[in-house]
Structure 1
Amino acid sequence: MLTHNLGYPRIGSKRELKKALEEYWSGKTTYKNLIQVGKNVRQHNWQLQKNANIDLIPSNDFSFYDQVLDMSLTVGAIPKRYQALITEEIPVLDLYFAMARGYQKGIFDVTAMEMTKWFDTNYHYIVPEFYKDQEFKLFSTKVIDEFYEAKQYGLITKPVLLGPISYLLLGKEKESGFHRIELIKNLLPVYISIIKKVAALGAVCIQLDEPFLALDISSEIKQVYKEVYNELKACFPDVKFMITTYFEGVTTNLELISQDLKFDILHIDLVRDPKQLDIVLEKLPKEMQLSLGIVDGRNIWKNDYKASIETILKAVNVRGVENVLVAPSCSLLHTPCDLDLEMQNEDLPSNIKQWLSFAKQKLGELSALRVSVLYPEDENAAIALSYNSACIDSRRNSKILHDEQVRKRVSKLTIKDKSRKSEFLARKTKQKEILRLPDFPTTTIGSFPQTKDIRKKRSEFKRKEISKIEYDNYMRSEIGKTIQIQEELGLDVLVHGEAERNDMVEYFGEQLKGFAFTKFGWVQSYGSRCVKPPIIYGSVSRKKEMTVSWSKFAQSLTPLPVKGMLTGPVTILQWSFVRNDQPRSETCAEIALAIRDEVKDLESAGIKVIQIDEPAMREGLPLLKDQWNQYLKWAIDAFRISSSGVEDYTQIHTHMCYSEFNDIIDHIAHMDADVITIECSRSQMELLDAFAGFKYPNDIGPGVYDIHSPRIPKTEEIVGLIQKAQGYIPKDQLWINPDCGLKTRNWKETKEALKSMVIAAKELRAAIPQVV
């Protein structure tokens, strides 16, 4: 029985790669230094896995930005607008970053590629762009180079490739008249070339990630799977192909997998779908090996060895020990690097610490499970099993998990608690009287640049190096500057800028009961952007007001409306490591009640516009459509619980970014937010196709420029996007705003971009015919 890993976090245990990337982008470090940092991270990760006795260690799981973008560069899927950047003067890595972030330098001015969520995770990938009859070629040799690098390091690794069919399905057609899957005939030869080269270097097992085999796919796609994997095996009879699926079970496509595909090892996610094991054991051909994804690759709770050993033994008894592998459920990309770094973290209680396992520890869990199954009489295995059982029992029996008052409050929720007092049109009339906003009102999504000085001051306060009075005064001065800048720019609805907030989820979690926090629990969201998800271990409730004083102060500085800024219950849930001992829907309802209390207090303090961000609403949607309605029912109920306790004159906003919600637009409308802002800029308003056949009833702000790129939008671009939006949405329902918060941008970029946006709004207003 072998152990293997699907992928390891590539940011570095102390975010070394993040820091090197941002220094490189800002010109503070060299290309050579960035390359060296990447090499250091890879070799550190390989050594960790070697030390943990992992039998099949992956290569090509490292990335400077995103593994899907890596594949696009590898196969030469480079959109035409970047072709001019393919020169000897510009490093290939800068071309790569231009595709991810846009590029504005000298004569070059190109926009970034679209970015969206990786299935139902908070990781973002760069969406491949496809054209009819598109040709592919081996443009980047990253896969080959990293296999060779590992070989030089003394390891024969398992190269990881995003499978060719999943790669195509993750992309988008950029012209009509074809389906991207038709491109497989042009793409497959490049994959064959890659595999040939790594096989020649000594690769004996290749991991092909095909998560779409766990989704609903058409009969046409199934036929392509059959043809592709039959051809690959025919070309490479001596190479072991491991097809990896994750985030859902394979039951829907098991007939295809077990009868029609030629490969050697199937990996299944037994954390997301433990029930699939019985039928997979029954249907999978005896000659195929089975990889059990039994250690949770997406959460941080310690593995229950006793339960896992029972599962492994079930598979071993059916297939034989030589045909079973154990692994994490998916890539460990989605977990923090190393729990050992938290040993001195006094803010993380020791009783909770013993319940946790991060990426490094999960490697140890795999090794311990293997030893326990193969050598049950081993003394060390017995000690490990005993300690693990004690930790599992400690959590199961802990008195800090449940608050009876919170449970009672959730159980007493009614339809009235989930409904505004009046319909939207009646509310809009009252809001117009109070807010007196112009046509095409302008606003931002909430956050403004988090400067180095702001982060330093927040860190000093946390370390108790400055007093609360000094900290509060500093933050008030930053809020004052932000309000003044917005007034000077001419924005209509302002925000306080969120200088006091470390992260849109962590900030609230720190003020809610039932949450715990790490110091080094960073997880990559996209590129250099890392988040530190809170840990929800128990019942959630609000301790006291969380944002009211800051919002009230900001509103006192201006006659213009200032939005109260909150994170919604579904997003807090999705972007946390959530307790797995009760239904997620119940935990979400608890969070919703805590946010509801804050919303009502903001209204009482005189805040007339309140934004409850839900960027993760679509992200939480199950991957199988027959499970959608159940999720959408409780998720939208949670948003309505949080937002429905206010009067009609209080305007409720929400925000969603990088979410494909064309197929759930009616559910989004059912959230009944007065204004919804969405990301549309990278897709050139493509998301608004959802509104072509659906008359969205409330107001909407389609994001008009991409804040994840340093590129400054031109006024005429913004005017064009809004004019395009008017083809879908009446002008009296349209707002103008960036596509997301401005936290990661600098002030120069922010001011220039917002100036373009405000000028665009004024031009659009001027073009409206005047009624005499």
Structure 2
Amino acid sequence: MKKLLPTSSAGSLPKPSWLAEPETLWSPWKLQGSELVDGKHDALRISLHEQQTAGVDIVSDGEQTRQHFVTTFIEHLNGVDFENRKTVKIRDRYDASVPTVVGPVSRTKSVFVEDAKFLRQQTSQPIKWALPGPMTMIDTLYDDHYKSREKLAWEFAKILNQEAKELEAAGVDIIQFDEPAFNVFFDEVNDWGIACLERAIEGLKCETAVHICYGYGIKANTDWKKTLGTEWRQYEEVFPKLQKSNIDIISLECQNSHVPIELLELVRGKKIMVGAIDVATNTIETPEEVAKTLREALKYVDADKLYPCTNCGMAPLPRDIANGKLNALSKGAELVRNELLAANVA
């Protein structure tokens, strides 16, 4: 029997301090050559162990082998120049120095497949693997070739589909596409963004997820959230079309956010990864706080479709805080799981 309320992390987890600078996005590696390869594998093993110790059901690599959830994938593609960098505004919020698309983009070899095989060897638990979504990829680049966000997104969707099929063959159970850009560019999402995502999952037999959040707990994102008012209704713009899409799971942000929980009704029927852990604070939730968020979500999500999760990745957090939060997630889910099982017995 499949476990009720299986828990997972949305994405990145903190890296060991000997591998990269702690609590820093885009932190440079502290090792080189074969030491770096070994170090990444060691970090992946540690991350898996910490997830297992915290009681996480669907495990991941914690993104230990990548500097950043988007650019590390792009680094491995042809047609992108990392020396020729431009400053662009990411997600309409903050400036970042990004690589330039200088020619047709293509993928000559897999990016994460060897890492996924390595993780698969370490555990028999279900594995989730995160990839950047097409729209978030184009938003983290300067395009000097296609001169069209949509054209470039379709090219990335094809490349992501190649990678996803190889990840599935390597034994990945859930492939998640990270699309924080879906909370910003609503017209594009509905015009072609969701269609691009469907192209990225074409032909996959494993489960697929899209993760849409309000971003990492970094200042640029927390400042932006302060401008959004008391009700964050961004999901309302994209949920109706996502509900009709072929994506199996929708991953979203709930804990400590101003997202009206009733918006979940718009995606009823889908499996939902409910973010019950706030990644923008060092305060560790109590299991009861997690349980409260999950109970609210259960008003709009059937119990067999609810997957407790974190709001977003936790790379910028101290390791002990991230571990504490994963523990709280597992314990909070356990509280609600027991309530549901007791209600069924009764």
Structure 1 and Structure 2 fold alike (TM over 0.5): yes
Q: Contact 1:446–1:497 (CA<8 Å) still a contact in 2?
A: yes
What corresponds to 1:651 in structure 2?
207
Alignment of 1:377-416 (within 5 A): none
| Aligned-partner Cα distance in 1 for 2:269–2:171 | 27
Q: Contact 2:20–2:28 (CA<8 Å) still a contact in 1?
A: yes
Indicate the structure with greater helix content: 1
Q: Determine if the alignment matches structure 1 residue 633 to structure 2 residue 191.
A: yes
Write the letter of the residue equivalent to 1:620.
F
What corresponds to 1:568 in structure 2?
133
Aligned-residue Cα RMSD (Å) equals 2.5
Q: Contact 2:15–2:43 (CA<8 Å) still a contact in 1?
A: no
Alignment of 1:168-207 (within 5 A): none
CA deviation string 1:420-452 (max 9, x = no partner): xxxxxxxxxxxxxxxx54111100012110344
What TM-score, normalized by structure 2, do the two folds share?
Answer: 0.85
What corresponds to 1:691 in structure 2?
264
| Aligned-partner Cα distance in 1 for 2:189–2:181 | 13
Larger radius of gyration: 1
Name the SS of the counterpart of 1:639 in structure 2. helix
Write the letter of the residue equivalent to 2:204.
V
CA deviation string 1:560-589 (max 9, x = no partner): 012122111111012222337533211111
Write the letter of the residue equivalent to 1:484.
H
Q: Contact 1:685–1:721 (CA<8 Å) still a contact in 2?
A: no
Selected match of 2:165 from 600, 623, 637: 600
Specify every segment of 5 or more residues in structure 2 that has no aligned partner in the other structure, as ranges.
22-26, 215-232
CA deviation string 1:461-488 (max 9, x = no partner): 5xxxx32x22211111111111111111
Q: Contact 2:88–2:141 (CA<8 Å) still a contact in 1?
A: no
Q: Determine if the alignment matches structure 1 residue 665 to structure 2 residue 239.
A: yes
Q: Contact 1:449–1:746 (CA<8 Å) still a contact in 2?
A: yes
Give 1:523 deviation, angstroms. Answer: 6.6
Residue-pair matches, total: 320
Higher relative contact order (CA 8 A, sep 6+): 2
Give 1:635 deviation, angstroms. Answer: 1.2
Give 1:491 deviation, angstroms. Answer: 0.7
Give the percent of matched residue pairs that are identical in Structure 1 and Structure 2.
24
Q: Contact 2:133–2:179 (CA<8 Å) still a contact in 1?
A: yes
CA, structure 1 residues 450+690, in 2 after alignment: closer, same or farther (shift >3 Å)? same
Write the letter of the residue equivalent to 1:644.
E
Alignment of 1:245-256 (within 5 A): none
Indicate the structure with greater strand content: 2
**Runs of 4+ in structure 1 displaced over 6 angstroms?**
522-526
What corresponds to 1:459 in structure 2?
29
CA, structure 1 residues 519+578, in 2 after alignment: closer, same or farther (shift >3 Å)? closer
Specify every segment of 5 or more residues in structure 1 that has no aligned partner in the other structure, as ranges.
1-435, 622-627
Write the letter of the residue equivalent to 1:635.
G
Write the letter of the residue equivalent to 1:725.
A
What corresponds to 1:722 in structure 2?
294
Alignment of 1:97-176 (within 5 A): none
CA deviation string 1:222-266 (max 9, x = no partner): xxxxxxxxxxxxxxxxxxxxxxxxxxxxxxxxxxxxxxxxxxxxx
CA, structure 1 residues 553+631, in 2 after alignment: closer, same or farther (shift >3 Å)? closer
CA deviation string 1:2-57 (max 9, x = no partner): xxxxxxxxxxxxxxxxxxxxxxxxxxxxxxxxxxxxxxxxxxxxxxxxxxxxxxxx
| Aligned-partner Cα distance in 2 for 1:662–1:631 | 12
Give 1:736 deviation, angstroms. Answer: 0.4
What TM-score, normalized by structure 1, do the two folds share?
Answer: 0.39
CA, structure 1 residues 447+515, in 2 after alignment: closer, same or farther (shift >3 Å)? same
Selected match of 1:674 from 229, 234, 248: 248
Q: Determine if the alignment matches structure 1 residue 762 to structure 2 residue 334.
A: yes
Alignment of 1:88-487 (within 5 A): 437-455=2-20, 459-460=29-30, 466-467=32-33, 469-487=34-52
CA, structure 1 residues 524+705, in 2 after alignment: closer, same or farther (shift >3 Å)? farther
What corresponds to 1:515 in structure 2?
80
| Aligned-partner Cα distance in 2 for 1:620–1:762 | 37
CA deviation string 1:660-686 (max 9, x = no partner): 121332112233221111112232552
| Aligned-partner Cα distance in 1 for 2:242–2:96 | 26
Give 1:733 deviation, angstroms. Answer: 1.5
Q: Contact 1:493–1:561 (CA<8 Å) still a contact in 2?
A: yes
